[in-house]
Structures are given as structure tokens and as C-alpha cells.
Amino acid sequence: MRLPIPLLTSLLLFLPAVANAAGPSAKAMANTCFICHGGGGQESLRGMRASEVIEEMREMKREPREGRLMSVIAKGFSDAEIKAMAAYIATLK
């Protein structure tokens, strides 16, 4: 299909506004954790190795009874995202 030039131009101008974000950053994903993992809350993530975070998240996905709400949350992230998030968390002091 051949689109008229003005329409093509407007599509090109419009698309970036909607599609310019390619997934959340590792930092943004990690920042969501602190609502529960922090002072007086669930286990602190600071000092965890990336491999530990990845293994915990996998276990949460597998064990809903053990993981409770965390198993729901773990399912909101892909394996690749968990890997990226874990690498970022491992850099936190």
C-alpha cells in the first residue's frame, strides 16, 4: 500500500512519541522493590549477589504458597528483565 506523503510524515512524527521507550530500565525496575524491601520490611536487597536475586525470583515464580504476593510480582517480569534488575541490585551498597 502506498501512503500519501503528508500522512507518512505525520506517522513518522507521531510514532516516536508513543514508541520511543524500549522497556523499563534496570534501575526503574529495582526501584519498585523498595516499597516492601526496606527498613522494617521484607528482606533487604542490599548486599545480595545477582545470582541470589535471580534464584529467589525463579523460586518465587515456582512456589506461590511460599512466595505469597511476591510470587505474583515475580510473574510481572521476564527472565531477561530479572537478570538486568539483579545485576543492578548487586551494585547497590
Partner 1 sequence: MTDLNRRQFVGLAGASLLLPSVTANAATAPRIVVIGGGFGGATFAKYMRKASPTATITLVEPKSTFISCVGSNEALVGLSSLSKLSFTYDRLKASYGIKQVLSTARSIDVVNRKVKLATGASLDYDRLILSTGIEFRYDAIAGWNKITEKLLPSAWHAGPETTQLAAQIKAIPKGGTFIITVPPMPYRCPPAPYERASLVAWYLSQTNPTAKVLILDANATFPKQQLFEEGWGRLYPGMVTRIVGAVTEVDAASHTAKTANGGYKGAVVNVIPPQRAGTLATATGLTDASGWCPVDVLTFESLLAPGVHIIGDAAASGLPKSGTSASGGAKAAAEAIGNLLGGRAVTDPVIINTCYSRLAPNYAIGIASVFGRDNSGKIVVRQGGAGTGTSPLGASLAYRRTEASDASKWFRAMIADTFS
Residues making contact with partner 1 (CB under 8 A):
18-25, 27-29, 31-32, 34-42, 64-65, 68-69, 71-73, 75-78
Q: What's the closest the beta carbon of residue 29 comes to partner 1, in angstroms?
A: 5
Return the C-alpha cell found at 30.
529495582
Cβ nearer to partner 1, comparing 9 with 38 = 38
Q: Half-sphere exposure (CA, 13 Å, Cβ side) for 3?
A: 8
With H, G, I as helix, E, B as strand and everything else as coil, classify residue 42: strand
Beta carbon of residue 30, minimum distance to partner 1 (angstroms, whole number)? 10
CB of 3 to partner 1, least distance (A): 20
Distances (CA, A) of 10 to 1, 17, 42, 83: 16, 12, 49, 38
